[in-house]
């Protein structure tokens, strides 16, 4: 019985105890976790510095280095995330529905913890605290398997969180870090049927594919974000330029960043010249013929290339934007439902019917009208933290907060009823 087997057993045992813990005790333990993160911020930043240095010297892209990096502000955000989780209602023990059958049986649908969860994630260290605090409040034990790139940061954070649980009267056994670095470790987690109730992969396309392929444990997929913005001629073009710049540039490594811009043919001359001017020096455009023509002579500093077919299906995670011309809303919806990853899709328009139709027909977790796709985020939505953004079509869809870690149990109370 190696360390991973021991984790499976100890997580299950701790989860059994945590499941009966009341809100006051869970919140006290969470508060103590926040305090320990605060008290140990120096250690955490030093550990993160080691990871960042190693990543840079290994040639990691800057957008990804940014995802990996912590600073004082990001530590503050982690602490504030925990505090927001504390402020939220306990998701457990709610009677969501209840009714009495004609034979007198009382049927109640009660929320209970999902159980023991595993999260397999890449580089972003704040995921560690988000996942632990959400899981704890939802009464779930959690097995963390972070990336090798963030190993030192993750160890420092988990150390602080577990120390916080210990000091705050909680169950430190409900949190475990699988950090052997063995690839085999991931596959054993994925096959641990009966020992884990769910596995949540959070990272790039390769990770998700590997998990979906290998997992025999139920998976909550958090997928890649090949997100689109579709611009209609009726849109406010000055707002459109602001929104597109924000969705592409503000954090290009994020999954809710826009990757392909779809422009109605009649909107091309209204949008492309000012967009090209705005993105000069900031982004590379990969245009189809009509949009390239509409952009005119590229302003100094703008990289303007011809789009290739594979650009439509690429999550660049970089300052690159593909641009395609469409002839109608139907063309935009068809393109999105073919190439999109069911993540976040936006229409910029002033046409009520078009906004309604786009919202209804586009198959995605989040559908925006006249706003940046960058808001798809548990923190932005008010959940305090998130486990990731589900792009599958199960019940946890979009940003996953506390609710995503609960399930229900039917409690049926009778007085001797038998089925006729």
Asked whether position 380 contacts its own copies by CB under 8 A, the answer is yes
Among residues 21, 27, 51, 197, which is the contact residue for its own copies, using CB under 8 A?
Answer: 197
Phi first, then psi: what are they for 143, rounded to 5°? Answer: -105, 120
Asked whether position 407 contacts its own copies by CB under 8 A, the answer is yes
Q: Which of residues 11-30 bind its own copies (CB under 8 A)?
A: 16, 19-20
CB nearer its own copies, residue 59 or residue 338: 338
Residue 298 DSSP one-character state: P
Asked whether position 243 contacts its own copies by CB under 8 A, the answer is yes
Among residues 6, 22, 250, 274, which is the contact residue for its own copies, using CB under 8 A?
Answer: 250
Window contacting its own copies (CB under 8 A); options: 119-127, 129-137, 160-168, 403-411: 403-411
- Calculate the dihedral angle through the C-alpha atoms of 280, 285, 287, 293, rounding to the nearest 10 degrees: 10
Residue 398: CB minimum distance to its own copies, A: 5
Asked whether position 409 contacts its own copies by CB under 8 A, the answer is yes
Q: Identify the residue whose tokens are 């140990």.
A: 40
**Edge-to-edge strand list for the sheet holding 141-145:** 175-177, 141-145, 116-121, 198-202
Asked whether position 374 contacts its own copies by CB under 8 A, the answer is yes
Helix (H, G, I), strand (E, B) or coil at 156: helix
Q: If binding means CB under 8 A, how many residues of this protein chain bind its own copies?
A: 67
Taking the C-alpha atoms of residue 23 and residue 19, their distance in angstroms, rounded to an integer, is 11
Instruction: Identify whether the C-beta of residue 199 lies closer than 8 Å to the C-beta of residue 189.
Output: yes
Q: What is the 3-state secondary structure (H, E, C) of 33-63?
A: HHHHHHHCHHHHHHHHHHHHHHHHHCCCCHH
Asked whether position 394 contacts its own copies by CB under 8 A, the answer is yes
Among residues 28, 167, 212, 277, which is the contact residue for its own copies, using CB under 8 A?
Answer: 212
Asked whether position 352 contacts its own copies by CB under 8 A, the answer is no
Among residues 60, 63, 107, 167, which is the contact residue for its own copies, using CB under 8 A?
Answer: 107
Residue 216 DSSP one-character state: -
Taking the C-alpha atoms of residue 148 and residue 232, their distance in angstroms, rounded to an integer, is 44
Q: For residue 297, give every residue at least 6 positions away whose Cβ sits within 8 Å of its Cβ, in sequence order, or none.
A: none
Chain residues binding its own copies by CB under 8 A are 16, 19-20, 99, 101, 105, 107, 114-115, 193, 197-198, 212-213, 216, 218-219, 221, 236, 239, 242-243, 245-247, 250, 355, 359-361, 363-372, 374-376, 380-382, 392-399, 407-419
């Amino acid at each position: 019985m190696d360390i991973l087997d021991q984790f499976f057993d100890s997580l299950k045992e701790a989860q059994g105890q945590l499941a009966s813990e009341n809100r006051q005790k869970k919140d006290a333990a969470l508060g103590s976790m926040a305090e320990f993160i605060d008290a140990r911020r120096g250690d955490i930043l030093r550990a993160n510095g080691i990871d960042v240095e190693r990543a840079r010297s290994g040639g990691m892209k800057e957008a990804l280095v940014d995802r990996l990096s912590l600073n004082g502000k990001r530590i503050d955000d982690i602490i504030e995330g925990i505090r927001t989780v504390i402020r939220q209602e306990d998701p457990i023990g709610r009677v969501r529905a209840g009714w009495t059958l004609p034979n007198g049986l009382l049927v109640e649908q009660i929320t209970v913890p999902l159980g023991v969860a595993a999260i397999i994630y890449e580089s972003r260290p704040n995921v560690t605290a988000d996942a632990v605090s959400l899981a704890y409040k939802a009464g779930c034990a959690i097995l963390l398997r972070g990336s090798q790139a963030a190993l030192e940061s993750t160890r420092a954070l988990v150390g602080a969180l577990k120390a916080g649980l210990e000091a705050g009267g909680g169950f430190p056994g409900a949190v475990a870090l699988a950090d052997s670095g063995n690839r085999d470790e991931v596959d054993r987690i994925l096959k641990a049927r009966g020992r884990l109730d769910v596995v949540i992969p959070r990272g790039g396309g390769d990770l998700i594919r590997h998990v979906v392929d290998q997992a025999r444990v139920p998976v909550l997929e958090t997928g890649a974000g090949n997100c689109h913005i579709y611009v209609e001629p009726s849109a406010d073009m000055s707002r459109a330029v602001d929104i597109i710049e924000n969705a592409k540039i503000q954090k290009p490594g994020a999954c809710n960043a826009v990757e392909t811009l779809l422009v109605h043919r009649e909107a091309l001359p209204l949008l492309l010249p000012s967009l090209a001017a705005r993105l000069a020096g900031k982004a590379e455009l990969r245009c189809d013929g009509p949009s390239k023509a509409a952009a005119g002579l590229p302003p100094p500093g703008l990289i303007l290339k011809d789009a290739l077919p594979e650009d439509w299906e690429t999550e660049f995670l970089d300052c690159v934007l593909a641009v395609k011309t469409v002839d109608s809303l139907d063309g935009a919806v068809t393109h999105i439902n073919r190439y999109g990853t069911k993540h976040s899709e936006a229409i910029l328009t002033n046409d009520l019917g078009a906004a309604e139709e786009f919202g209804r027909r586009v198959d995605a977790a989040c559908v925006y009208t006249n706003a940046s796709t960058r808001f798809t985020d548990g923190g932005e939505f008010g959940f305090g933290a998130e486990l990731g953004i589900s792009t599958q079509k199960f019940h946890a869809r979009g940003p996953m907060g506390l609710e995503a870690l609960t399930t229900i149990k039917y409690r049926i109370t009778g007085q001797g009823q038998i089925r006729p």
